[in-house]
Amino acid sequence: MFATTNYPCNIPLESKILFLFHSFTITINTLFAFHCKTKLRTTNLQSTIYTHPNRALFFRKKLSFFNLPKQIMSGIVVVFDFDKTIVDVDSDNWVVDELGFTDLFNQLLPTMPWNTLMDTMMKELHSHGKSIKDIEEVLHKIPLHPRVIPAIKAAHALGCDLRIVSDANTYFIETILKHLGIREYFSEMNTNPGYVNEEGRLRILPYHDFNKASHGCTLCPPNMCKGLVIKRIQDSISEEDKRLIYLGDGSGDYCPSLRLKEKDFMMPRKNFPVWDLICKDPSVVKAEIHGWSDGEELEQVLLQLISKVSMEHNSPFITSDCKLQTLSLSVLEALPKALPLRP
């Protein structure tokens, strides 16, 4: 039931085991779902992995026998929001707070759009003697969950096309990703332009220049409609039969979720604004919805979906009118939880 080509060697070990387990689970579920005639829709995913305490050592020794294609997932585009998705905080707030300008920020917040406010705050930082180096040092310390980077590396190594759609800015995102050593994993970055001008001041401009013309979307802030970005991405891959996985947390991620198709996947962060908006009426989102709460669950769900697409693509048992309701086996629930792996 398993392919016989080689694993990409640069997938983190824990991610390999996680991906392998999901692939095995989906294979078994596929056999049970063979006669399914009703299209099922997954509106939530509670993913718990169980295995024998010694199974981790078994997998370490046996990974080479359960190999997966090196470019198995070239047909998947994974789109990440940035703030509170890749990093665990809002990068704008992080810089302002860490450099001691929270009070001024809160004072100006009711008077102008967020994007304009951030450009104004960069002017204030510069006028008070804060340098680009000061900003970069703060960005280098931004908090993130330890499983997010392995998840990104694993998805990239499996052949997924990774992209960013964010209402942050290019300077913040580029600085953080380069510091983390993962900039090269992303093929495209869609965000507000940010650059250092001749005075040494950071400028932040709108993705959509609302001073010239409105993007016309009532769901999104005036400077950026993520739904229009997703529509452009969809148009660019329309002839390649690719599938989208979208991860986000904020209210600005709701519009793109409405653009996704039935073959796609939406991964909203649980109990964040986009989750709350979707929960009001999940039926308006055509894509399958799979929630996540932190970086660990993000990794589990993302690799699970990649496994699922892999098995659907390669298995003759799954048809277009039969989707799996769940990716876990009840028989495994009687087994103890896996021990944590150490590199």
Q: What is the pLDDT of residue 28?
A: 44
Instruction: Say how far residue 95 (Cα) sits from the centre of its chain.
Output: 22
- Domain range spanning residue 206? 13-88+142-334
Looking at residues 244-249, what average pLDDT do you find?
98
Task: Count how many domains the chain has.
Answer: 1
Q: Look over the chain and give the mean of its residue pLDDT values, rounded to a whole number.
A: 79
In a domain, 7, yes or no: no
Catalytic residues, by residue number, are 81, 83
Looking at residues 89-105, what average pLDDT do you find?
98
Phi-psi region of 114 (alpha: psi -120 to 50; beta: other; left: phi over 0): alpha
In a domain, 3, yes or no: no
**Would you give the DSSP letter of residue 212?**
T
Q: Yes or no: say if 163 and 136 are a contact pair by the CB < 8 Å rule.
A: no
Give the model confidence (pLDDT) of 54-68 as tens digits.
434 333 333 333 344
In a domain, 148, yes or no: yes
Q: Yes or no: say if 305 and 247 are a contact pair by the CB < 8 Å rule.
A: no
Residues 241, 264: Cα–Cα separation, whole Å: 11
Looking at residues 258-276, what average pLDDT do you find?
97
In a domain, 5, yes or no: no
In a domain, 302, yes or no: yes
In a domain, 33, yes or no: yes
Residues 25, 17: Cα–Cα separation, whole Å: 12
**Would you give the DSSP letter of residue 239?**
G
Looking at residues 111-135, what average pLDDT do you find?
97
In a domain, 37, yes or no: yes
Q: Is 173 helix (H, G, I), strand (E, B) or coil?
A: helix
Q: Is the pLDDT of residue 108 over 80?
A: yes
Q: Is the pLDDT of residue 144 over 70?
A: yes
Nearest to 50 by CA among 342, 329, 343: 329
Categorize the per-residue pLDDT at 329 as very low, low, confident or very high, splitting at 50, 70 and 90.
very low
- CB-based burial of residue 247 (10 Å sphere; 0-12 exposed, 13-18 middle, 19+ buried)? buried
In a domain, 204, yes or no: yes
CATH number for the domain spanning 77: value is 3.40.50.1000
Looking at residues 94-108, what average pLDDT do you find?
98
Q: What share of the chain has pLDDT > 90, as a percent?
A: 64
| Least trusted range by pLDDT, from 39-43, 128-132, 146-150, 176-180 | 39-43
Q: What share of the chain has pLDDT > 70, as a percent?
A: 69
